[in-house]
Structure 1
């Protein structure tokens, strides 16, 4: 497991209106290949509004964060967690994305580790789940390297109404 500390390669900050450019950069065929493809401009604007609203709620409800390189301040991606019910239990779900030119450097693992530290401090749910597709080895590796345990394969609905074979990764906060 990667440990979060002040010297880590990234810092996370709550999603803000000026972060829409990053959401647009993440809305490419390459970045959304495992998520059902790029969204329309209308859906992207709605996603921006949801990200801002989530980050304006109480911290235990979850947060979306911009991921920046600690040294340069460059925005390189996003990471977040939100409330959901999974198999009759209140949990958090986590998701992330790192821009292609920054992938392969461990930044997603570092961002997810920072996120887990935040959720442990501010959250009120016992576990965080992530559901990368079985066909997405990089995201499954991020879960493994961040200390999640794989609970097995599930048919996860994403986009809503579309079953996608995924792994259910679990991280215990408490």
Structure 2
């Protein structure tokens, strides 16, 4: 799927065996400061295996073929309802170019086409202004702050953003 944002064209391609190195790059301290810091190599390998299994994870690729991030969606039970959750990350040299917006827009189009769940949620840390701004820009509604267990065993304060997939 190809999306454009501010003149930037990106593609999202299914996460594959060869994307482990990209995941390692996304595990850098500057990429993980709002989600508890970098994971161990063992945790990265386990995450890579999960990404391969869940089917809703994608690498974000520029037209020239360079992978610059990851984006995805998965099912979660949230407040008694099955919803989709989304998450993303774009490598620092490629941030602030509209790439994340285009990638998340591509995910939104995919989940809308599935017509399976009404809502897509994002849970960025309250201390992550760029991710919260992206949610606002893409039309997610801020439902408020919440405590969220992430990484497992730790509680982080997040904003609960929700996009109504049935809305126009």
Same-fold call, TM > 0.5? Answer: yes
Ranges in structure 2 where 5+ consecutive residues have no aligned partner: none
Q: Determine whether 1:54 maps to 2:47.
A: no
Cα gap change, 1:38 to 1:47, in 2 (>3 Å)? same
Cα gap change, 1:73 to 1:123, in 2 (>3 Å)? farther
Match of 1:153 among 139, 145, 152: 145
Kindly report structure 1 stretches of 4+ aligned residues shifted beyond 2 Å.
none
Ranges in structure 1 where 5+ consecutive residues have no aligned partner: 56-62
2:60 maps to which residue? 67
Q: How much does 1:156 deviate?
A: 1.4
Match of 1:97 among 89, 96, 99: 89
Match of 1:173 among 160, 165, 168: 165
Q: Within 5 A, what are the aligned runs for 1:2-151? A: 4=3, 9-55=9-55, 63-69=56-62, 71-151=63-143
**What's the TM-score, normalizing by structure 2?**
0.92
Supply the distance in 2 between the matched residues of 1:13 and 1:122 (Cα, whole angstroms): 17
Query: How big is the alpha-carbon RMSD for the aligned residues of Structure 1 and Structure 2?
Result: 1.5
**What's the TM-score, normalizing by structure 1?**
0.89
